[in-house]
Structure 1
Amino acid sequence: MDHQRIVRDVTASLPAASTAIDACQRTVTALARHTPATISVLLQVQDRLRCVAATGAWQVFATVPPKTGIVGRVYASGETAVVPDVSADPDYLPVRPDVTAEICVPVRDPAGRPIGVLDLQWSAPVDLTPWSATAERLADRLGARIVALGGTPAESRSEKLLRHATALSAAPTERDLLSAVICAARDVSALSAAVLVLGGPDGGQLGAPPRAPGELEGRIRAELTEAGPAALGRIVGRVHRYGAGYTLGEAGHPPTEEYAPLARAGVRTLVAVPLGPPDGGGALLVADERLLRPDPTTVSLMELLAGQAWNSLDRLRTLDRLREQASSDPLTGLRHTGPFGKRIAAATPGRTALLAIDVDGFKTVNDTYGHQAGDRLLIGLARALEGALRSGDELYRIGGDEFVAVIEVNRPEEAVRIAERLTEAARRTGRTISIGVALPRPGESAELTLRRADQALYRVKRQGRDGVSLSPA
Structure 2
Amino acid sequence: MSLDHSRVVRDVTTRLPTASTAVQACQATVAALGRHTPGRIAVLLWVHDRLRCVAATGSWQVFASVPAGVGVVGRVYASGKAETVSEVTDDPDYVPLRPDVQAAICAPILDPAGRPIGVVDLEWTTTGVELDAWRDTVEQVAARLGTRIGQLGGPPAETRSEKLLRHASALTVAATEPDLMTAAVEAARDVSGLRSAVFVLDGPAGPWVATPSLVPDELEARVHAALAGAGRPLLERLRSRAHRSGASYTLGEGDHPTTTDQDLLIAAGVRTLISVPLGPTELCGVLLVGDTRTLRPDPTTVNLIELLAAQSWICLERLRGLARLREQASSDPLTGLRHQGSFGERIAESNPGRTALLAVDVDDFKTINDTYGHQAGDRVLVDLARALQGALRHGDELYRIGGDEFVAVVEVLRPEEAVGIAERLTEAARQIGRTISVGVAVQRDGESPDLTLRRADEALYGVKRQGRDGVGLATGG
TM-score scaled by length of structure 2 = 0.94
| 2:310 aligned partner | 307
Relative distance call for 1:247 and 1:9 in structure 2 (3 A) is same
Shift of 1:442: 4.3
The range that moved more, 376-385 or 104-113, is: 376-385
Which residue in 2 is equivalent to 1:75?
77
Give the count of matched residue pairs.
472
Report the equivalent of 2:118.
Answer: 116
Of 54, 57, 65, 1:55 maps to 57
Q: Distance in 1 between matches of 2:155 and 2:353?
A: 68
Displacement of 1:210 in angstroms is 5.2
Residue 101 in structure 1 maps to residue 103 in structure 2:
yes
Aligned to 1:470: 473
1:254 counterpart = 2:254: no
| 1:428-443 correspondence to structure 2 within 5 Å | 428-443=431-446
Q: Tell me which residue corresponds to 2:93.
A: 91
| Aligned residue type for 1:12 | T
Alpha carbons of structure 1 residues 358 and 59: separation in structure 2 relative to 1, 3 Å: same
Secondary structure of the 2:84 match is strand
Mapping of residues 259-408 of structure 1, within 5 Å: 259-278=262-281, 280-408=283-411
Q: 1:345 to 1:17 in 2, by over 3 A?
A: closer
**What are the ranges of 5 or more consecutive residues in structure 1 without an aligned counterpart?**
none
CA, structure 1 residues 120+324, in 2 after alignment: closer, same or farther (shift >3 Å)? Answer: same
The Cα offsets for residues 255-297 of structure 1, whole Å up to 9 and x where unpaired, read as 2123222111121221111112435411001112222224211
For residue 16 of structure 1, report the CA deviation from its aligned partner: 1.4
Tell me which residue corresponds to 1:415: 418
| Residues 358-367 or 163-172, more deviating | 358-367
Q: Which moved more, 1:126-135 or 1:185-194?
A: 126-135
Matched, 1:455 2:458: yes
How far residue 371 of structure 1 moved from its aligned partner, in angstroms, is 3.4
Question: In the TM superposition, what is the alpha-carbon distance from 1:254 to its structure 2 partner?
Answer: 3.0
Q: Deviations over 1:224-253 (max 9, x none)?
A: 12213443233223322x131111212201
Shift of 1:132: 1.5
Deviations 1:8-59 (A, max 9, x none): 1111111111221111111111111111211110011110111111111652
**Residue of structure 2 equivalent to 1:7:** 9
Q: Please identify, of 357-366 and 400-409, the stretch whose mean Cα deviation from structure 2 is larger.
A: 357-366
Aligned-partner residue type, residue 119 of structure 2? V
Are the equivalent residues in 1 in contact too, given 2:392–2:425 (CA < 8 A)? Answer: yes
Sequence identity percentage: 65
Please report how far the alpha carbon of residue 190 of structure 1 lies from its aligned counterpart in structure 2 after TM superposition.
1.1
Q: 1:252 to 1:53 in 2, by over 3 A?
A: same
The residue that corresponds to 2:31 in the other structure is 29
**Aligned partners of 1:238 and 1:431: how far apart in 2?**
53
Decide whether the 8 Å contact of 2:179 with 2:212 is kept in 1: no
Give 1:376 deviation, angstroms.
Answer: 2.8
**Structure 2 residue corresponding to 1:424, chosen from 408, 424, 427:** 427
Q: 1:127 to 1:317 in 2, by over 3 A?
A: same
Amino acid at match of 1:184: A
Aligned to 1:226: 229
Judge conservation of contact 1:202–1:230 (CA < 8 Å) in 2. Answer: no
CA distance 1:79–1:203, change in 2 (3 Å): same
SS class of match (1:227)? coil
Q: Give the root-mean-square deviation of aligned CA atoms.
A: 1.8
Match of 1:449, SS state, is: helix
Q: In 1, distance between residues paired with 2:348 and 2:144? A: 69
Q: 2:463–2:471: 8 Å Cα contact kept in structure 1?
A: yes
When residues 369 and 253 of structure 1 are mapped into structure 2, their CA distance, relative to the original with a 3 A threshold, is farther
- Amino acid in the other structure paired with 1:217: E
Structure 1 residue identity aligned to 2:296: R
Q: 1:134 offset after TM fit, Å?
A: 1.2
Q: C-alpha distance in 2, partners of 1:10/1:18? A: 15
Q: What amino acid does structure 2 have at the position aligned with 1:463?
A: Q
Equivalent pair of 1:43/1:51 in contact (CA under 8 Å): yes
Q: Which residue of 2 aligns with 1:134?
A: 137
Counterpart CA distance in 1 for 2:285 and 2:371 is 48
Stretches of structure 2 lacking an aligned partner (at least 5 in a row): none
Contact 1:57 1:95 in 2 (8 A): no
Deviation larger for 459-468 or 359-368: 359-368
Contact 1:199 1:236 in 2 (8 A): no
| Bigger mean CA offset, 410-419 vs 391-400 | 410-419
Counterpart CA distance in 1 for 2:450 and 2:11 is: 84
Cα deviations across residues 136-189 of structure 1 (Å, max 9, x unaligned)? 111111111112223211111111110000000011111000010011011111
Contact 2:332–2:338 under 8 Å retained in 1: yes
The aligned counterpart of 1:41 is: 43
Q: What amino acid is the match of 1:468?
A: V
Query: TM-score normalized by structure 1?
Result: 0.95
Cα offsets for 1:368-411 (capped at 9, x unmatched) = 44433333322222122112222222111111221111122233
